[in-house]
Amino acid sequence: MELHFDHELDDVFSIDFRKSRVIIPQDIREELKRLVAPWRQELLKGLARLTSANTTRLHGPADKAIDKHKEFTKNSDIKVDGDSVTIRNQNQIKPAVIEGIRIYDDKTVRVHEEDSILGDELWEPSCDGEGNTCVTLGKSHPYFHKMYNVCKDNIEAMKALDMLLWSLANAEHGEFSETNQHTLKGYRQKVSQTLRYLSIELPDVEEE
């Protein structure tokens, strides 16, 4: 999408004489979001349709590898009681509640997919009913489709990506505390935002 305008709107968009920045006013930004929303939804549906690999099944090797080494990678104690999840680790000696965490019933799966994640992040930490750390991947993030499309013919590469993303979630659980939880979330948002831009450099998913 491109937005074209002439010099008469320089003040509106806070453009300096070097033409080095554009600041879109909040009201215009919201209107642009509304206008492109239907197009964006169709694009995301198309990406999901064109991703040739069935990534849900292909997470299996990573699930097994992660479970195999759980005794050595566990760095937090997570307790699930209904919809309530508490965590303890080296930073959080007393149990602290993790708000809004996804809880999965299947205890054999460590890498999950959801259509989208709040904030349109690439990943977020989650857990299963036994308190094992899981990672949830947001399929609406453009990097999701492109990275798995690049590795669609290489199971070991997909497993490596899955293990990396799971390790990020596991590290977040290991560092979680009531005082730094927002910092951890901000870190995840910044990484996801950066990967959104960098995903432009990866090949588009093409229909076979």
Over the stretch 69-114, which tens digit does the pLDDT of each residue have?
999 999 999 999 999 999 999 999 999 999 999 999 999 999 999 9
Task: Give per-residue pLDDT as tens, 172-205.
Answer: 999 999 999 999 999 999 999 999 999 999 988 7
Q: Report which residue type is found at 185.
A: K
Q: Is 98 within 8 Å of 178 (Cβ atoms)?
A: no
Contacting residues for 104 by C-beta, under 8 A, at least 6 apart: 112, 126, 127, 128, 129, 134
Q: How confident is the model at residue 53 (pLDDT cuts 50, 70, 90)?
A: very low
